[in-house]
Structure 1
Amino acid sequence: MKQCCPECGHVAPLTAFAAEADAREALAIAMRLPGQLGDSVLRYLALFRPAKRALAWSRALKLLGQLATDIDRGYISRHGRDWAAPVDAWRDALHTVVSQREALTLPLKDHSYLYEIICRGANRVEAKAEQAVEDKRRARKRGAPEPAAPASPEAPTTGGPNARRRPPVTDAMRDQIDAAIAATKSSAQPTDNEV
Structure 2
Amino acid sequence: MRIQCPCCGEQFPLEAGFLDDEGKRLAAQFAGMEPRLGRAVLAYLRLFSPAKRGLRTSRAIKLVEDLVHLVDSGSVTRDARTTDSKPATAVVWAAGIDQMLAQRERLTLPLENHHYLRAVVYGIASDPQQVAKVQPPRPSKPRSRMTAQQLHQEQIGRINSDVLLGILSKEDGEQRIAELGASV
TM-score range, shorter chain: 0.5 to 0.7
- TM-aligned CA deviation for residue 59 of structure 1: 0.5
Cα distance in structure 2, aligned partners of 1:100 and 1:23: 29
Specify the alignment match of 1:152 in structure 2. Answer: none
The aligned runs of 1:39-188 (5 Å cut-off) are 39-77=39-77, 78=79, 79-125=82-128
What displacement does 1:85 show? 1.0
For this pair of structures, how many residues does the alignment match? 109
- Structure 2, unmatched stretches of 5+, are 1-18, 132-184
**Distance in 2 (alpha carbons) for counterparts of 1:80 and 1:74:** 14
Distance 1:25 1:88 in 2: 23
Which of the two has greater helix per residue?
2
Partner Cα distance (2:84, 2:27) in 1:
31
Deviation at 1:125, TM superposition (A): 2.6
Structure 1 residue 81: deviation in Å? 2.6
Distance 1:28 1:41 in 2: 14
Pick the structure with greater CA Rg.
1
The corresponding residue for 2:180 is none
CA RMSD of aligned residues (A): 2.1
Which structure 1 residue ranges, 4+ long, deviate > 4 Å from structure 2?
none
Please report how far the alpha carbon of residue 28 of structure 1 lies from its aligned counterpart in structure 2 after TM superposition: 0.8
- Give 1:33's aligned residue: 33
Distance 1:81 1:27 in 2: 33
Cα distance in 2, alignment partners of residues 120 and 21 from structure 1: 37
Q: Answer whether contact 2:37 2:91 (CA < 8 A) is retained.
A: no
TM-score in terms of structure 1 length: 0.52
CA deviation string 1:139-167 (max 9, x = no partner): xxxxxxxxxxxxxxxxxxxxxxxxxxxxx
Separation in 2 of the partners of 1:121 and 1:36? 17
C-alpha separation between the residues in 1 aligned to 2:30 and 2:67? Answer: 10
- State the distance in 2 between where 1:107 and 1:20 align: 25
Please report how far the alpha carbon of residue 68 of structure 1 lies from its aligned counterpart in structure 2 after TM superposition.
Answer: 1.1
Gapped regions of structure 1 (runs ≥ 5) = 1-18, 129-195
Specify the alignment match of 1:21 in structure 2.
21
CA shift for structure 1 position 116: 0.2
Amino acid at match of 1:99: A
* 1: CA distance, partners of 2:50 / 2:125: 31
**C-alpha distance in structure 2 between counterparts of 1:70 and 1:53, whole Å:** 27
TM-score by length of 2: 0.55
